[in-house]
Amino acid sequence: MKKGRKISGGRYHKARKKKLYEKPGQARKVRLGEEKKKTQRVTGGNVKIILFKTKFINVLVEGKNKKIEIKDVLETPSNRYLARQNVLTKGTIVNTELGKVRITNRPSQEGMVNGILVK
């Protein structure tokens, strides 16, 4: 049976089109490189900072945050191909001066990269 078709072969018709707020946003991949950001207006007149490239990560060390440079991307548990492309996502493990750090936030949504040391 074909998708979007009834058993008789007739088509299903949508009741309405999607509203602007129901449509998905553009997929953004945060990559390793020189810092590149953009601001975007979102619902309610708020502003969201979109991150495209970065080379720094905020790491929590002994209760204090330190801004450290990312050397390279080691692994991404959700998708191993993203690590090869140097894409930073939540859960990605990166190599820094302090050692291995796991990213704890969503960089494409928040405009910065936060992480914690992996023992």
Is residue 6 in some structural domain? no
The neighbouring-strand residues paired with 5 are 11
Is residue 50 in some structural domain? yes
In DSSP notation, 10-53 reads PBP--SSPPPGGGSPPPP--EEESS-EEEEEE-GGG-EEEEEEE
Distance CA 73, CA 85 (A): 9
Is residue 12 in some structural domain? no
Side by side, which strands form the sheet with 30-32? 36-41, 47-54, 30-32, 87-88
Which pLDDT score is estimated for 102? 97
| CATH number for 79 | 3.10.290.70
Is residue 105 in some structural domain? yes
pTM: 0.80
Is residue 1 in some structural domain? no
Range of the domain at 86: 28-117
Which pLDDT score is estimated for 43? 87
Instruction: Give the residues of the chain that fall short of pLDDT 70.
Output: 1
How many domains would you assign to the chain?
1
Question: Which residues touch 9 (CB under 8 Å, ≥6 apart)?
Answer: none
